[in-house]
């Protein structure tokens, strides 16, 4: 049976009446954080949740709870920092404010099973994990030095994956598509309309990954009889309690971890560092490969958002990524990875090039940048020893009155010769916005405590990740346009 859907004005009227009832003078009192919670959920319209999940309801059976109230209650749980569903159900029974803001009458709140039944509606798959519990063991990735980006390996594999993804006419269905649709229609679209993402027709997007530790160690159960035969270390199939997790390398902490690799695309021009597309990846997956998957999925699922600038760190310094961005007319701002830089591959005549792609003259001096010709797709460099049109070099390498001229084409090597020079002020002004994804990851890890939960399934980790992304947008709305509801909702 379908739920009874309540409009957002009806929800606001319910909250108004219930707060005046339970917080009358001489009874319970509000504190400052309580008013912030009321203001955040007062403006958050989730009444379209039931329509977006319409296909998950049957024509028979008992009438379910309004999914908008369950989603609102889960977001409120994340806002107050409660990681356990069981403990949250108890708090709904103890605290009238939490029950009322969720949309429930105090004393009549849902149980733990109701919440998990709602979570299954958000997951378009029969199993809560994407991989079977029985699988072969995987080897852990090889780590790098502390604080150092791992070299971008498998460049040919990255190119092959990009070529395969380009041939697909439609995106492949994912179990989290319903959850993504909720996030896109009720949060991302609202932020875009309010101008909190920058220009939707020319987005500047930064991307970065972070480790998600789900357990201290890998838990497995042997299914073979190798120990009885004297073989303690075998690679036979085992049963894994978390089949989608594996062992990855955390370069910041210089340690291995067991869990997932969270990769997020962030609106770099947003003043609130808002996430656009969070995605759970395997822990063994490199940042470059995670970006390839996330970028193609984002382009397929968000056709209304035009991507014009990509800001990435040195882990994405791979030639296939440059070619992909250039083919889609996206400006690439990618830092060079010293561990991946061997030879420039471009040494015409006696001219050599620095690590950042600047030509070096015979005297060993970097040549002067004279701008980029967008009509021809090339940058022009002049002799560094020309002062006011006079060649001051004692051994000039050109008979021209303004010295030697070198022109480099972007299509020749987009990695070394980007449209915006790496050593320019324009490059620094754009690349400084890459820290937006780091600030967004900090909010996910520390402010909302992503790893504080004790989930064992990819379904619950994905729902928690997207719930935190929804809360980030919800907080941005409150900071951009704060509401003062004390005079309207204060008890008479």
- Summarised one tens digit per residue, pLDDT across range 24-45 is 766 667 777 888 999 999 999 9
Least confident of 16-20, 57-61, 265-269: 57-61
What pLDDT, on the 0 to 100 scale, is given for residue 28?
A: 66
What pLDDT, on the 0 to 100 scale, is given for residue 106?
A: 94
Q: What is the CA radius of gyration of the chain?
A: 27
The CA angle 318-320-325, to the nearest 5 degrees, is 100
CB atoms within 10 A of CB 457: 19
Q: Kindly state the average pLDDT of the residues 290-301.
A: 91
Q: Kindly state the average pLDDT of the residues 296-310.
A: 91
Q: What is the DSSP string of 149-196?
A: PPP---HHHHHHHHHHHHH-SSPPP-TTHHHHHHHIIIIIHHHHHTT-
Residues 60-98: pLDDT tens digits?
878 889 999 999 999 999 999 999 999 999 999 999 999
CB atoms within 10 A of CB 487: 6
Only one residue has tokens 């990618």, namely 334
CB atoms within 10 A of CB 367: 23
- 491: pLDDT confidence band, cut at 50, 70 and 90? low
CB 263 within 8 A of CB 441: no
- 359-360 and 368-373 strand pairing: unpaired
Separation CA 390–CA 385 (nearest Å): 8
Q: Kindly state the average pLDDT of the residues 288-306.
A: 91
Length of the chain: 492
Least confident of 172-181, 304-313, 481-490: 481-490
Backbone angles phi, psi at 278, to 5 degrees: -80, 145
pTM score > 0.75 for this model? yes
Nearest of 176, 256, 269, 182 to residue 218 by alpha carbon: 256
What pLDDT, on the 0 to 100 scale, is given for residue 337?
A: 81
Backbone angles phi, psi at 426, to 5 degrees: -65, -40
What percent of the chain shows pLDDT beyond 90?
51
What pLDDT, on the 0 to 100 scale, is given for residue 343?
A: 41
Token pair recorded at residue 143: 């780590």
What pLDDT, on the 0 to 100 scale, is given for residue 143?
A: 59
Tell me 433's DSSP state.
G
CB 452 within 8 A of CB 212: no
Nearest of 391, 341, 383, 379 to residue 366 by alpha carbon: 383
Q: Using DSSP, state whether 23 is helix, strand or coil.
A: coil
């Amino acid at each position: 049976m379908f739920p009874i859907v309540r409009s957002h004005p009806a929800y606001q009227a319910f909250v108004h009446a219930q707060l005046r009832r339970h917080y009358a003078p001489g009874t319970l009192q509000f504190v400052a954080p309580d008013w912030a919670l009321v203001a955040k959920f007062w403006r958050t319209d989730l009444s379209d949740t039931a329509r977006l999940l319409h296909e998950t309801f049957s024509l028979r059976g008992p009438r379910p709870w309004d999914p908008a109230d369950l989603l609102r209650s889960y977001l409120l749980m994340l806002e107050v920092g409660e990681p356990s569903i069981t403990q949250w159900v108890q708090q709904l029974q103890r605290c009238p404010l939490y029950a009322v803001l969720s949309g429930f009458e105090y004393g009549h709140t849902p149980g733990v099973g109701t919440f998990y039944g709602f979570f299954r509606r958000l997951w378009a798959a029969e199993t809560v994990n994407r991989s079977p519990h029985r699988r072969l063991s995987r080897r852990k990735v090889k780590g790098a030095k502390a604080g150092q980006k791992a070299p971008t390996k498998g460049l040919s594999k990255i190119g092959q994956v990009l070529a395969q993804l380009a041939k697909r006419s439609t995106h492949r269905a994912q179990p989290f598509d319903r959850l993504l649709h909720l996030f896109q229609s009720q949060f991302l679209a609202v932020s875009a309309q309010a101008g909190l993402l920058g220009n939707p027709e020319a987005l500047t997007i930064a991307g970065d990954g972070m480790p998600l530790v789900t357990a201290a160690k890998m838990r497995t159960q042997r299914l073979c009889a190798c120990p009885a035969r004297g073989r303690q270390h075998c690679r036979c199939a085992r049963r894994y309690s978390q089949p989608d997790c594996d062992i990855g390398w955390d370069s910041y902490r210089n340690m291995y971890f067991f869990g997932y690799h969270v990769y997020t695309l962030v609106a770099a021009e947003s003043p609130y560092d808002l996430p656009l597309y969070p995605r759970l990846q395997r822990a063994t997956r490199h940042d470059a490969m995670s970006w390839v998957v996330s970028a193609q999925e984002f382009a397929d699922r968000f056709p209304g958002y035009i991507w014009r600038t990509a800001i990435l760190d040195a882990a994405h310094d791979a030639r296939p990524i440059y070619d992909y961005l250039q083919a889609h007319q996206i400006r690439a701002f990618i830092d060079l990875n010293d561990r991946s830089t061997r030879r420039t591959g471009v040494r015409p005549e006696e001219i050599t090039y620095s690590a950042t792609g600047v030509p070096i003259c015979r005297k060993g001096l970097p040549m002067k940048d004279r701008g980029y010709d967008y009509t021809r797709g090339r940058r022009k460099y002049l002799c560094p020893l020309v002062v006011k049109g006079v060649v001051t070099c004692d051994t000039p390498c050109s008979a021209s009155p303004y010295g030697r001229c070198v022109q480099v084409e972007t299509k020749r090597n987009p990695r070394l010769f980007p449209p915006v020079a790496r050593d320019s002020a324009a490059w620094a002004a754009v690349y400084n916005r890459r820290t937006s994804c780091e600030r967004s990851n900090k909010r996910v890890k520390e402010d909302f405590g992503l790893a504080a939960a004790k989930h064992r399934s990819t379904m619950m980790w994905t729902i928690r990740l997207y719930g935190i992304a929804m809360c980030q947008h919800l907080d941005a709305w409150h900071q951009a346009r704060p509401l003062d509801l004390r005079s309207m909702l204060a008890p008479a």
